[in-house]
Amino acid sequence: MGKIAQGLERALRTRPVPSSTEARLRYLLTAHQGSTRRVAAVLGVSQRTVQRWVTKKPGARRLPGPLQTRAIEEAVRTRWQPRVRARRRAQAEAEGFVFHTRARFGFAAPAGSSDDPRVRWITQDLPGEVARELFAARDAGAGEQQQMVILARALGHAYFRDGGRRAHGLHIAFSDVEFADFSIG
């Protein structure tokens, strides 16, 4: 997961995802009404394996391996706060969001301008159309590069061209993202 996708995920949550494997397993069991069979089906392991992971009997408990730990983490991330995520996404698509980044920006501009790329800190309000486009691209499986193109176009219009009031021929190159955070509401 790239920095932009991570920033979007952080913006959609109000509480952190459980960090330990045991807490994640407890969450999955709670989400599936305590059914080890359903949790096993989600994780692609046997019911007995899940029972070994969550048992309280001394000596019978087993820890999940690295592949199972990643599967548990992914299952929890996809199920964490679904109503909050939907509400915050709808809010971002309706009202827009604030984008905070530190990245390298360069320009393709007319002769006589400074087009050398340099690192900039930028905090900019972006409209709901950008949020809709960004979420649609993410849902369609777009990679980090495609998301960067969407954000570069939006930053070019809102920040560098001041909403279309100046620098009309300026095209933005956006790369080397150090961090990307989104503030919704």
Q: What is the mean pLDDT of the chain?
A: 88
pLDDT above 60 for 109: no
pLDDT above 60 for 45: yes
Question: What integer pLDDT is reported at residue 108 of this predicted model?
Answer: 64
pLDDT above 80 for 112: no
Q: Token pair for residue 123?
A: 């905090």
CA distance 36 to 59: 20
pTM over 0.85: no
Question: What integer pLDDT is reported at residue 174 of this predicted model?
Answer: 79
Which tens digits make up the pLDDT trace of 158-179?
Answer: 887 776 677 666 677 777 889 8
